[in-house]
């Protein structure tokens, strides 16, 4: 899996254009580079006019930035997507069962399928959730699973995001941009739609309403405010769903019921899609000096008067030190074999793993177990000797804070670069919605692309960009391939 030649999703292993990319390859061949660069400028102007930004603070300059958008879509055949989607549903079911178990009977610990010390001593385990079952028994209603591809049929889960996964607004806006910029190209491909995501998100949130809710549930999005890096997304989703986006000061708790302040007076709130970390949710339960949360919120939650999506304490399921055990969770709770594999992972707190990692820092990717956004990470083959030495010291000082994985040859897709169209590494974040027994996934997800040549870091905060992700029906792929083949045969005959 490591140090191999990257699989290119358009040209395949043998250099022959793969069927899903047949029409795109023809389009790229026939489209002048000047037009692509002009369209890229149009896309930037469009995103800037709409205000599609994310914020990076502490680096000087204007914190509001555009995420670079690449014009060439990433394409997945429907048959490939169905296999991937089946694995995602399986994984999210197991993660929810794991959370329900960890906060109750802890059977998986007694079965020694997950080391108890990784759970019981973990700061992400919230004692406030002990023996409490959220409405509907669902803990992670919205889950973003990061997936990488290394071959024609080889997909791996890179990490799970069970707390407050972001990026879905960019998935939706990327599609809108492509429809505006290249309407005929999109029409020829008859893309699997993703526009229903806000509707399905709202359905998921309403389904989470507690039993005490009478009538139509009132749903709000709780944001930390405009200084949060994903504030645009919070407002975008609220607008798309037709619900209010609120800050902590807009809510209050009275007799363990949550209310929203409105010009018409207090209005009861039934479901909160919270985009605030656990620590800041409620100063009476977590950080006492938090100004972002709502005093008494956890008491109202535990009283069954409001639902929180996602539930507090979900972080224990996406801790990178827990990630290696997800396949065992699938076997334990579902009695099934994992449909999507994990990346082999070394836990630095284990002495044998630590020795291996320290001896192979030039070959491995080292990550903070509780890191995100590409921060606290070192890609060994691309790191300087000084950086590797710095991480050696960090691992020795706090081994439990780090994991290491092989440097995967992530797949590449064609991308508009300064020198023309060139391959760049990508990953994929599909968004999985869970309510009761139903798990919904719109076809595709957010493709993130490492824009720098040779880079494996796709995070927007680290210079990465995004692409539209197209899922195409196999019948359409076959028809286009046949059409192109017939055209080529006729051209050869004329020649």
Contact (Cβ atoms closer than 8 angstroms) between residue 54 and residue 396 = no
Among residues 163, 225, 158, the alpha carbon closest in space to that of 374 is found at 158
The percent of residues in the chain predicted with pLDDT above 90, rounded, is 79
**What tens digit of pLDDT does each residue of 138-175 get?**
999 999 999 999 999 999 999 999 999 999 999 999 99
pLDDT-derived band at 489 (thresholds 50, 70, 90) equals very low
Q: What is the pLDDT of residues 94-104, one digit of tens each?
A: 999 999 999 99
In which band, very low, low, confident or very high, does the pLDDT at 449 lie, cut at 50, 70 and 90? very high
Average pLDDT for 383-405: 94
pLDDT of residue 49: 85
Residue 463 pLDDT: 73
The predicted structure's pLDDT at residue 485: 60
pLDDT tens figures, 220-229: 999 999 988 8
- Secondary structure, 3-state, 308-352: EECCCCCHHHHCCCCHHHHHHHHHHHHCCCCCCEECCCEECCCHH
pLDDT category at 480 given cuts 50, 70, 90 is: low
CA atoms of 490 and 487, how far apart (whole Å)? 5
CA distance 61 to 43: 23
Name the band, by pLDDT with cuts 50, 70 and 90, for residue 382. confident
Q: Which of 287, 266, 273 is CA-nearest to residue 237?
A: 273
Average pLDDT over residues 59-67: 61
Burial 30-64 (b: 16+ CB within 10 A, else e): ebeeeeeeebbeebeebbeeeebbbbbeeeeeeeb
Give CA angle at 401 (396, 404), nearest 5°.
Answer: 80
| Tens digits of residue pLDDT in 261-297 | 999 999 999 999 999 999 999 999 999 999 999 999 9
- Higher-confidence residue of 116 and 57: namely 116
- Apex 315 CA angle, 311 and 321, nearest 5: 155
For 279, counting Cβ atoms within 10 Å of its Cβ (0-12 exposed, 13-18 middle, 19+ buried), the class is middle
Give alpha helix (H) positions in 440-473.
none
Q: Residue 122 pLDDT > 50, yes or no?
A: yes
In this predicted model, what pLDDT tens digit does every residue of 399-428 receive, in sequence order? 999 999 998 889 999 999 988 899 999 999
Over 80: is that where the pLDDT of 373 sits? no
CA–CA distance, 380 with 262 (Å, rounded to integer): 53
pLDDT in tens, 68-81: 899 999 999 999 99
Quick: pLDDT tens for 291-319.
Answer: 999 999 999 999 999 999 999 999 999 99
Find out whether the peptide bond into 310 is cis, omega within 30 degrees of 0. Answer: yes
User: What's the whole-number average pLDDT of the chain?
Assistant: 91
Instruction: Report the Cα 328 to chain-centroid distance in Å.
Output: 22
177-221, pLDDT tens digit by residue? 999 999 999 999 989 999 999 999 999 999 999 999 989 999 999
The whole-number average pLDDT for the span 121-139 is 94
What is the CB neighbour count within 10 angstroms for residue 436?
11
pTM: 0.91
Predicted local confidence at residue 1, as pLDDT: 43
């Amino acid at each position: 899996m490591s140090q191999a030649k990257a699989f290119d999703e358009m040209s395949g292993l043998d250099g022959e254009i793969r069927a899903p990319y047949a029409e795109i390859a023809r389009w790229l061949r026939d489209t002048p580079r000047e037009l692509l660069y002009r369209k890229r400028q149009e896309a930037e102007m469009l995103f800037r006019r709409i205000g599609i930004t994310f914020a990076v603070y502490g680096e000087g300059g204007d914190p509001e930035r555009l995420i670079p958008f690449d014009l060439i879509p990433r394409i997945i055949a429907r048959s490939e997507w169905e296999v991937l989607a089946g694995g995602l549903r399986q994984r999210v079911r197991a993660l929810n069962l794991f959370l329900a178990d960890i906060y109750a009977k802890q059977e998986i610990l007694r079965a020694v399928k997950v080391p108890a010390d990784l759970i019981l001593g973990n700061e992400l385990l919230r004692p406030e959730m002990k023996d409490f079952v959220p409405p509907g028994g669902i803990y992670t209603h919205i889950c973003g699973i990061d997936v990488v591809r290394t071959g024609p049929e080889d997909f791996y889960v890179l990490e799970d995001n069970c707390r407050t996964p972001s990026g879905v607004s960019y998935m939706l806006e990327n599609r809108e941009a492509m429809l505006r910029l290249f309407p005929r190209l999109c029409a020829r491909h008859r893309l699997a739609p993703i526009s229903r995501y806000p509707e399905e998100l709202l359905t998921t949130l309403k389904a989470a309403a507690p039993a005490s809710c009478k009538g139509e549930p009132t749903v709000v999005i709780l944001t930390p405010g405009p200084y949060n890096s994903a504030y645009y997304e919070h407002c975008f989703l609220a607008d798309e769903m037709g619900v209010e986006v609120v800050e902590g000061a807009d809510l209050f708790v009275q007799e363990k019921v949550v209310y929203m302040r409105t010009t018409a007076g207090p209005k009861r709130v039934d479901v909160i899609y919270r985009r605030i970390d656990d620590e800041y949710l409620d100063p009476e339960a977590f950080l006492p000096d938090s100004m972002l949360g709502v005093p008494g919120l956890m008491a109202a939650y535990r009283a069954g008067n409001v639902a929180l999506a996602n539930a507090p304490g979900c972080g224990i399921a996406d801790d990178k030190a827990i990630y290696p055990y997800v396949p065992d969770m699938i076997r334990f709770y579902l009695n099934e074999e994992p449909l999507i594999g994990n990346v082999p992972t070394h836990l630095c707190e284990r002495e044998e793993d630590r020795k291996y990692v320290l001896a192979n820092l030039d070959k491995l990717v080292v990550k903070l177990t509780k890191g995100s956004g590409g921060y606290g990470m070192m890609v060994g083959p691309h790191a300087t000797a000084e950086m590797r030495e710095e991480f050696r010291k960090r691992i020795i000082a706090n081994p439990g804070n780090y994991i290491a994985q092989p440097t995967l040859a992530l797949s590449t897709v064609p991308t508009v670069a300064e020198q023309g169209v060139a391959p760049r590494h990508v990953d994929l974040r599909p968004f999985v919605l869970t309510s009761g027994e139903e798990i919904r996934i719109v076809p595709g997800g957010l493709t993130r692309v490492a824009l720098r040549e040779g880079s494996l870091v796709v995070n927007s905060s680290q210079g990465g960009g995004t692409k539209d992700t197209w899922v195409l029906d196999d019948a359409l792929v076959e028809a286009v391939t046949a059409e192109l083949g017939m055209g080529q045969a006729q051209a050869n005959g004329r020649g």
